[in-house]
Amino acid sequence: MASSTLRVKAKNDEEKRWFFDILDHRRSDVKEFVQTLSMYQWCDETYNIIDSAYQCWNGCRYCYIMAMNRRFRRGTIIDQTFHLHGTKVKKGWRKGDSKLFMFPSSHDIFEDMVDSYIEVARKMIDAGHRVLCVTKPRLSCIDRITRTLMDVKDKILYRFTIGSVDNEVLSFWEPHAPSFEERLDALKLAFERGFETSVSMEPLLEDPARVIERVTPYVTESIWLGYMNYQKGSAEIHRLCQCKIEGVIDIEDTVDDLETLEKRTHDLEVLKTRARELVDRYRDNPKIYFKEGMMTMLVK
Ligand code: SF4
């Protein structure tokens, strides 16, 4: 693994140790810990190439980008065709300090733009950076990216989002994203072609045991468990979405309905208890890491 990737991983290892020290009452510096956890837990920078007038086609019901776009009345057009942000694709990259770029972070990778994705990833890498490729992977896209960027494979870390093995659950929460089988095949392909691989279960769409069992043989780096990447005032809705996922709230409620449920603190306590059970279950698994929202919830 390349240097910026190792640096971020070392930071994640330190955060995990600190988290357990607080849970086990060996440290009490909760405020400093929470301040240290940043939105950039996975990377140094993020980069996206979607036209900001459009919404990512996957249409995930829990999408915080969608929630933010709705709130600020932007990026609300939904179209199956991917609309590129031309300037961001054409931008030249000058060499500088090596950074780990999470690319993409506010859209996914689709067949009609995968060549533009590769073009930008190549420019980033040529400028000395590394790419954290976060996606609900389409097999054809991963095939194309891995073949085309094989010569720089040590500069790329894949992080495939797989929240459930159950396609009914996936199609409810992520209506236009690939099936579990397609995502698993993409993971196997990247692994067999010698790329670094990791899996994100953020958000958890079921108890993680089945996903962890199926993906572990093909994961070289890490498996992340997390609730919603809530931030900037949307914490309550995202926590309540997670309550809904966990079955605490009726599955028939729509996400919009959840906005009216902000006072359901009892549900949040149930969620917290479940999160603690998960952390205790997987704390000795060196591949498993916890997202910042889950850790923050448990130390506060
Ligand atoms: S893939 Fe990511 S950006 Fe796209 S809809 Fe789903 S959560 Fe939002």
Q: Which of 64, 65, 133 should be mutated for ligand 1, with most atoms under 8 A from CB?
A: 65
Of all protein residues, whose CA lies closest to atom 7 belonging to ligand 1? 63
The CATH number linked to 132 is 3.20.20
What's the pLDDT at 240?
55
For residues 145 and 118, the answer to whether their CB atoms sit within 8 Å is yes
Residue 45 backbone phi and psi in degrees, to 5: -145, 165
Q: Which of 46, 54, 66 should be mutated for ligand 1, with most atoms under 8 A from CB?
A: 66
For residues 166 and 209, the answer to whether their CB atoms sit within 8 Å is no
Residue at 297: amino acid letter:
M
What's the pLDDT at 232?
37
DSSP 22-49: HHTTS---HHHHHHH--TTSS-SEE---
What's the pLDDT at 207?
87
Domain ranges, residue 165: 3-299
Which atom of ligand 1 lies at the shortest distance from residue 65's CA?
Answer: 8
The DSSP output letter for 128 is T
What's the pLDDT at 69?
72
Q: Going residue by residue through the chain (300 aa), what tens digit of pLDDT does each one get?
A: 557 889 999 999 999 999 999 999 999 999 999 999 866 899 999 999 999 888 899 988 778 777 677 667 676 787 889 999 999 999 999 998 899 999 999 999 999 999 999 999 999 999 999 999 999 999 999 999 999 999 999 999 999 999 999 998 898 889 999 999 999 999 999 999 999 999 999 988 888 999 999 999 999 999 999 876 543 334 555 555 665 566 554 544 444 544 444 444 455 676 788 889 999 999 999 999 999 888 988 998
Residues having CB closer than 6 A to ligand 1 are 56, 58-60, 63, 65-66, 106-108, 136
Number of domains, the chain: 1
Q: Which of 42, 70, 108 should be mutated for ligand 1, with most atoms under 8 A from CB?
A: 108
Give me ligand 1 centre to Cα 59, in Å: 6
Q: Which three-class secondary structure state does DSSP give residue 131?
A: strand
Residue 12 backbone phi and psi in degrees, to 5: -65, -40
Burial class (CB in 10 A: 0-12, 13-18, 19+), 119: middle
Give me ligand 1 centre to Cα 22, in Å: 32
Of all protein residues, whose CA lies closest to atom 3 belonging to ligand 1? 107
Residue at 223: amino acid letter:
I
What's the pLDDT at 247?
58
Of all protein residues, whose CA lies closest to atom 6 belonging to ligand 1? 60
For residues 211 and 181, the answer to whether their CB atoms sit within 8 Å is no
